[in-house]
Amino acid sequence: GAGVSQSPSNKVTEKGKDVELRCDPISGHTALYWYRQRLGQGLEFLIYFQGNSAPDKSGLPSDRFSAERTGESVSTLTIQRTQQEDSAVYLCASSLMGQGGNEQFFGPGTRLTVL
Amino acid sequence: AQSVAQPEDQVNVAEGNPLTVKCTYSVSGNPYLFWYVQYPNRGLQFLLKYITGDNLVKGSYGFEAEFNKSQTSFHLKKPSALVSDSALYFCAVRDMLQGNTPLVFGKGTRLSVIA
């Protein structure tokens, strides 16, 4: 089947506006992850969903950031009152549940630019 | 705490020469180790992983990596580099005791293969 998809691929917004980013994981993948990649930098973990367990929100940088996931399908990452420092590529990944040796499959990312 | 170090920001090699991209890790227990590649404006693509068993792991596109527990290293190698291998490479780790928690990534190494 298809890989992880994300939309939109690009988003330009004005400072102070809210944005919503979407991730469609691979069917059957119960684990879903959001990362942020600033220009020229590595991946910064944001939030992690595993099945029906409470999400791990420990990586969210502020209370302006939130994410939801409906069952084991689509996830949305919402950034309220965007700031210029939020400009980055937001990457979503999914994986099978297991002992921890399963690799994460990444989507192409959403490039967010806050003017 | 888990961490990954990629000591080289940039690696330059001539086409046809062997290449090595270095990675060292730190975990409390035993590691699961992963390599990913990122081409411009794309998400991360999985290359290979070490779970258990043979220390030499073979992956996609002719890449391989060797797990060295005593040196806590997992260097990525290829016998003969291609110009098309030019990309950003990320090493990642997860402690075996941490289940499906998010991978911890290094900062990335940019590989440039020169014709």
In-domain check, residue B39? yes
How, if at all, do strands B31-38 and B24-26 pair? Answer: unpaired
Backbone dihedral angles phi then psi of residue B98, each to the nearest 5 degrees: -100, 10
Select from B41, B24, B40 the least CA-distant residue to B92: B24
In-domain check, residue B100? no
How does DSSP classify residue A25?
P
Backbone dihedral angles phi then psi of residue A86, each to the nearest 5 degrees: -80, -10
In-domain check, residue B55? yes
- Give the list of residues 6+ apart from residue A22 with CB closer than 8 angstroms, or none: A6, A7, A74, A75, A76
Q: What is the pLDDT of residue A94?
A: 94
Contacts of B32 in chain A (CB under 8 A): 100-101
CA–CA separation, B33 vs B71, rounded Å? 14
In-domain check, residue B75? yes
In-domain check, residue B79? yes
In-domain check, residue B102? no
B54: CATH: 2.60.40.10
**Per-residue model confidence as pLDDT tens digits over A13-57:** 999 999 999 999 999 899 999 999 998 788 999 999 988 888 999
Which residue among A41, A98, A106 sits closest to B44, beta carbon to beta carbon? A106
- CATH fold of A5-94: Immunoglobulin-like (2.60.40)
Number of domains in chain B: 1
Which residue among A45, A103, A109 sits closest to B46, beta carbon to beta carbon? A103
Q: What is the pLDDT of residue A101?
A: 83
**Per-residue model confidence as pLDDT tens digits over A63-99:** 999 999 988 889 999 999 999 999 999 999 999 987 7
CA distance A7 to chain B (A): 13
In-domain check, residue B74? yes
- Give the list of residues 6+ apart from residue B21 with CB closer than 8 angstroms, or none: B6, B8, B11, B75, B76, B77, B89, B91, B109, B111
The domain locations on chain A are 5-94
**Per-residue model confidence as pLDDT tens digits over B52-95:** 888 999 999 999 999 999 999 999 999 999 999 999 999 999 99
Question: What is the pLDDT averaged over residues B101-112?
Answer: 94
> Which residue range(s) make up the domain with B27?
3-95
Residues 56-85 of A with CB under 8 A from B: 56, 59
Residue of B nearest to A57 (CA): B102
Residue of B nearest to A33 (CA): B102
In-domain check, residue B101? no
How does DSSP classify residue B17?
S
CA–CA separation, A19 vs A15, rounded Å? 10
Q: What is the pLDDT of residue A1?
A: 54
Q: Give ∠ CA B65-B84-B115 in degrees, rounded to 5.
A: 105
